[in-house]
Amino acid sequence: MIEGVKIKSLKVIPDERGRLMEILRADDEMFECFGQVYMTTNYPGVVKAWHYHHHQSDNVACLKGMIKLVLHDPRPDSPTKDATEEYFIGEHRPLLIHIPPFVYHGWKCISETESVVINIPTQVYRYTDPDEHRVSWDDPEIGYDWSRKFF
């Protein structure tokens, strides 16, 4: 596993009224601090990648549909330098993925319907000076192939 990444299995509790699922609690081992909560969606087949942050950590969960969340570690002093990992998360595998600073991340909607992703970053988004650093989804230095893999 990429150094600093943490995973929490999310438990869905159904009853006759519907479902409840806790995502992130202040007493979770992966909790650092609260910045904000936001929701984003992806249409089927759409890739949103790559970006990283200098200061904030992200806590990502997919609530509807499925995504392939991909992480890449470019950090020169990391024991997992150049490692790339895939996580298939969403309705069929409810997980919260904690992504530390300087780790590239992005995702692709792999479900037939729009995916709904929630992120709980540790910092608020600064509109005039965002802590968001981007490279293209097909960046050759990362070298990740977003196409569907057949086994």
pTM above 0.75, yes or no: yes
CATH number (3.30.40.10, 1.20.120.420, 2.60.120.10, 2.60.40.1930) of 6-134 reads 2.60.120.10
pLDDT of residue 40: 98
117-145 per-position pLDDT tens digit: 999 999 999 999 999 999 999 999 999 99
79-90 per-position pLDDT tens digit: 999 999 999 999
Please state the domain extents for the chain: 6-134
User: 52 exposed, middle or buried (CB, 10 Å; 0-12, 13-18, 19+)?
Assistant: buried
pLDDT of residue 149: 81
10-69 per-position pLDDT tens digit: 999 999 999 999 999 999 999 999 999 999 999 999 999 999 999 999 999 999 999 999
pLDDT of residue 29: 95
pLDDT at 151 over 80: no
Average pLDDT taken over every residue of the chain: 97
pLDDT at 150 over 90: no
- Express as a percent the part of the chain with pLDDT over 90: 97
pLDDT of residue 136: 97
